[in-house]
Structure 1
């Protein structure tokens, strides 16, 4: 995928053409793509870049934190950007507390180290926090006196003694506009994009690590949302940090959380400088509900992430694979049905009865209802295609195959059913995921989209989201192979058109 590729050209054209003033669409948008113009080049500068993926792994949130994100945090020399959506007491938070505690003590034993600036950014802690949150783009910066009690972090005095400059900030806009992205940036050189929050849920999660120019784009995205005065081009002071070295996690006594679903992809050698799109989706405060069944759904806000997904669906030729926690966005379902009519095979992996209250509040429906509706509509298409068999034999299109599965925890003899929590594998302390929280789209075996965006109404209409799209067949194959291994024994088939 390069600047002359048809996908990039059509995507940028679609983005430019749909980027109308927000007043005309009734939206309240507060993200301006780095003040880029609506010209082709303006958007291209914002989203088009390159990256080198170093790893992709699956596991529970806690296992990904302790195996990958925590070691990365200990390697930070000058700056750590930590962005998440939800924040709650959990194994992940305990690991983060212990790491910062040990890191501060480790740094305190050295003299002349530059300040390690740590920025923790979040959107949701509790219902009351959201209801009472200041409705301003400046967000709310929490005083150090709250760090221990409210966030489970080390004491300000300890952090200061370790020459650590910490800030904790939150952003949220009523009624539903959470800042949903999750990413970690280390010294502006490496970035991690996980699907997991700082939370207790033992869900199947994913995380990709990248370096390259895409990291600078992630920094720009961070500054536009969380720190508009930050100079993202500024060089960091890394002098004197080599003497400090990294914090040895084993010597520090930090524990590792394991998961029966923890698996890293085998990234083929030579995968570097992949064409990459960094795709933000700005939040919108107007949910644009249309509650009556005869009303057509509103067009989704024309964000880079939304438009890229619709463009991928529209131009798909062979296959679409989607793994999403929820599926409640009608424009997505319509786009998938259009692809099926063109002969594209569609596979969907989602979760049953996950975050039902949130689905009802933000979408007025549930994933199960939408899945049943998708099945009914597909069957009507199948009947229509069956009436035109002669056209197919004469060179017409076949209807694509549709396969839908619900993720479930792997059944272990004698382990029982721990609904809503982690299911320990018999005889071990490993976590078994009970739902899938992975956000993954693979189109035609060559485009791979990861990030925070779900295929639900909240992600498409109100939440701020972030996606990162890679164009490389080898990377897509590696990711898909890893996912298939982890899903083995963890799927319940809901619908398979090949068996109808």
Structure 2
């Protein structure tokens, strides 16, 4: 483990072992899944192959589905939401094409058997009725094959069997609103994609990172703990037949384009990486009365990582999240600003409004107004140290207030995402109308991507999955591409030194 990653891991492990609400610590073994005892297995390394920005449909059709068509033994696809959409139609076509090509391969071998291709599709939410009547069991619900075309928009079982494809579709959901929120795709247990998008219709700005290496093994352990406890071995004996060596996906798979698409091919080897799951919790721990203190969230690996990064920051924090209603995150932001750390926030305005009210009892806009008010009232002396004569603090910190003997407040910038005005006026297809990207960059060195939002639902009840990379190069690639996309797609809500926008 590199010294820089150790600087993160030590406080992260301390948070997991000592902080957070004791009620959650005492019931940790009932969490789904429990990562308290094997957190060290989450610390690994990865080879980062690409970073992709765009809408969900463009990311799937340009990056994920072409790789899916080259699968030889297994495809694992996990999404939170599942809905009729261009993404689903393209996915269904890709699976049907795989089945047809494999059937041709069987015919060309005079009916000789080929190794079955395992496909496991997992999701949590399809409709309100589906969630209300979902079995309250960790075994979930497995969709019968006859329902695949009518309810899920997938190819018929007969066509898949003819191509030696072994498909299973499973859902997990726990009332009142504990969705399984992670999204990832793993091909042949060798390469993985972690997108922020679901298999759904929303034209939102999304991100996706492609990796291989040790982090994929950690991801497979997470999948096994949640979705498929009796996961069979995949024996690579060198004799397995490919799905179709002659298949040329570009000849039939139409790549959906978005004006927000940015694709950065990478070849970053041995990047220190930490997989960051968050277990689901059924108890939202609401405090309905104003005199009741806000409870501490369960410090899952993901929650603890974000808290640690906010505490560790030396000069800058960048947060992009659809919603911002987590009290813990806002407290961490204020403390960082008090230390002189510069904070930039990009979020959504009125995005998933009803969901925010139900899961948080507040909205992002209200929380941002509170954050700005607290920033104006922040007493820097409460969180800084006055240097004594001869102390070298002033030399070490160029942002020091020479008269007060303490760091100046960090700059705060807050912006709402909005569509590009020209593209919107011109009716350009796949112009993102909201940002669904979940991104944290600290000190231009630590990057966290995944499914976790900075809202109360992600911090208390939803199962989430994030991934942390310690790489200046990767942080710069992600940051520069995001900055490029956002040039014409943000509206400033607040910036230090400007008049407040109430």
Fold conserved between structures, TM > 0.5: yes
Report deviation, 1:24. 3.9
Question: CA contact under 8 A between 1:74 and 1:246: conserved in structure 2?
Answer: no
Question: CA contact under 8 A between 1:104 and 1:158: conserved in structure 2?
Answer: yes
| 2:414 corresponding residue in structure 1 | 404
Report deviation, 1:245. 1.6
| SS in structure 2 of the partner of residue 68 of structure 1 | helix
Report deviation, 1:102. 1.1
| 2:227 corresponding residue in structure 1 | 226
2:236 matches 1:241: no
| 1:330 corresponding residue in structure 2 | 327
2:64 matches 1:69: yes
| SS in structure 2 of the partner of residue 499 of structure 1 | coil
Task: Provide, for residues 103-148 of structure 1, a one-character-per-residue CA deviation record: whole Å limited to 9, x for no partner.
Answer: 1101101123210000000000000100000000000001001100
| 1:312 corresponding residue in structure 2 | 309
| 2:32 corresponding residue in structure 1 | 30
2:7 matches 1:6: yes
Question: What aligned pairs does 1:457-496 form with structure 2 within 5 A after superposition?
Answer: 457-496=456-495
Question: What aligned pairs does 1:84-233 form with structure 2 within 5 A after superposition?
Answer: 84-111=79-106, 112-231=113-232
Which of residues 17, 40, 44 in structure 2 aligns to 1:44? 40
Question: CA contact under 8 A between 2:450 and 2:467: conserved in structure 1?
Answer: yes
| 1:361 corresponding residue in structure 2 | 358
Question: CA contact under 8 A between 1:85 and 1:179: conserved in structure 2?
Answer: yes
2:419 matches 1:424: no
| 1:419 corresponding residue in structure 2 | none
Question: CA contact under 8 A between 2:400 and 2:408: conserved in structure 1?
Answer: no
Report deviation, 1:28. 5.5
Report deviation, 1:191. 0.1
| 2:297 corresponding residue in structure 1 | 300
- Paired residue total: 476
Report deviation, 1:398. 0.7
Q: 1:365 to 1:83 in 2, by over 3 A?
A: same
| 1:250 corresponding residue in structure 2 | 250
Distance 1:454 1:410 in 2: 23
Q: Which moved more, 1:196-205 or 1:258-267?
A: 258-267
Q: Which moved more, 1:187-196 or 1:404-413?
A: 404-413
Report deviation, 1:44. 1.1
Report deviation, 1:498. 3.3
Distance 1:390 1:212 in 2: 43
Distance 1:357 1:59 in 2: 25
Distance 2:464 2:305 in 1: 13
Distance 1:441 1:392 in 2: 31
Distance 1:398 1:22 in 2: 37
Q: 1:63 to 1:181 in 2, by over 3 A?
A: same
Q: Which moved more, 1:287-296 or 1:360-369?
A: 287-296
| SS in structure 2 of the partner of residue 300 of structure 1 | coil
Distance 1:390 1:97 in 2: 58
Distance 2:321 2:134 in 1: 29
Distance 1:243 1:438 in 2: 33
Report deviation, 1:17. 2.5
| 2:390 corresponding residue in structure 1 | none
Report deviation, 1:5. 2.0
Distance 1:113 1:399 in 2: 65
| SS in structure 1 of the partner of residue 407 of structure 2 | coil
Question: CA contact under 8 A between 1:86 and 1:197: conserved in structure 2?
Answer: yes
TM-score w.r.t. the length of structure 1 is 0.91
| 2:392 corresponding residue in structure 1 | none
Distance 2:203 2:63 in 1: 16
TM-score w.r.t. the length of structure 2 is 0.90
Task: Provide, for residues 253-309 of structure 1, a one-character-per-residue CA deviation record: whole Å limited to 9, x for no partner.
Answer: 222210000001353x5x211000001000000000012222221111020000011
